[in-house]
């Protein structure tokens, strides 16, 4: 498997109780598909849509929830695909744009793991325990996850419940 970017802050943990909450980016937290001419720009190897995508949630509230669930023992991670149209130089530019986007919009969140991977990489490969949670806009990814997976519209409610200990 080709990993273009992997930032891991592995910690010793109890595999039975520790869960990771994984987030897709495009169409889940970053509104890539609302960027005008996004597809033609990606096909032209222009990473701009990744950099200028608007947020899909109240990021201040999302950051607070993520920091609170981390204090409760959850790990937080990103699994995001590179562009389908891909070259090594473009992969590097896309990775830079995505990491910059994360740092801009979720600067207070210390992600335990960030994986920017080749388009189509099965996200279930990153599941560390059967208790891991995935938020992803693609139904196929949620089905293949084989565990608990939600649509982007469920992010705030699920995190709120986790913060409250439900």
Where do the structural domains in the chain lie, given as residue ranges? 27-163
Tokens of 143: 């089905």
The Cβ of residue 154 has, within 10 Å, a number of other Cβ atoms equal to 12
Whole-prediction pTM value?
Answer: 0.90
Alpha helices in 21-111 (DSSP H): 38-43, 48-52, 59-71, 88-105
Structure confidence by residue, pLDDT tens digits, 37-91: 999 999 999 999 999 999 999 999 999 999 999 999 999 999 999 999 889 999 9
Give the pLDDT band of residue 17 (cuts 50, 70, 90). low
Compute CA distances 68 → 3, 61, 76, 161, whole Å: 29, 11, 11, 11
Written out in words, the top-level CATH class of the domain with range 27-163 is alpha beta
């Amino acid at each position: 498997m080709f990993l273009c970017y992997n930032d891991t802050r592995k910690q010793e943990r109890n595999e039975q109780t520790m869960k990771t909450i994984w987030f897709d980016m495009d169409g889940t937290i970053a509104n890539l598909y609302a960027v005008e001419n996004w597809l033609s720009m990606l096909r032209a190897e222009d990473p701009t849509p990744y950099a200028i995508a608007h947020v899909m949630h109240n990021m201040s509230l999302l950051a607070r929830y993520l920091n609170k669930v981390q204090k409760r023992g959850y790990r937080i991670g990103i699994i995001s695909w590179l562009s389908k149209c891909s070259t090594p130089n473009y992969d590097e530019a896309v990775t830079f744009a995505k990491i910059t986007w994360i740092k801009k919009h979720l600067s207070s969140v210390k992600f335990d793991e960030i994986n920017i991977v080749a388009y189509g990489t099965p996200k279930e490969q990153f599941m560390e325990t059967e208790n891991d949670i995935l938020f992803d806009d693609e139904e196929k990814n949620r089905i293949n996850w084989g565990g608990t997976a939600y649509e982007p519209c469920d992010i705030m409610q699920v995190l709120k419940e986790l913060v409250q200990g439900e």
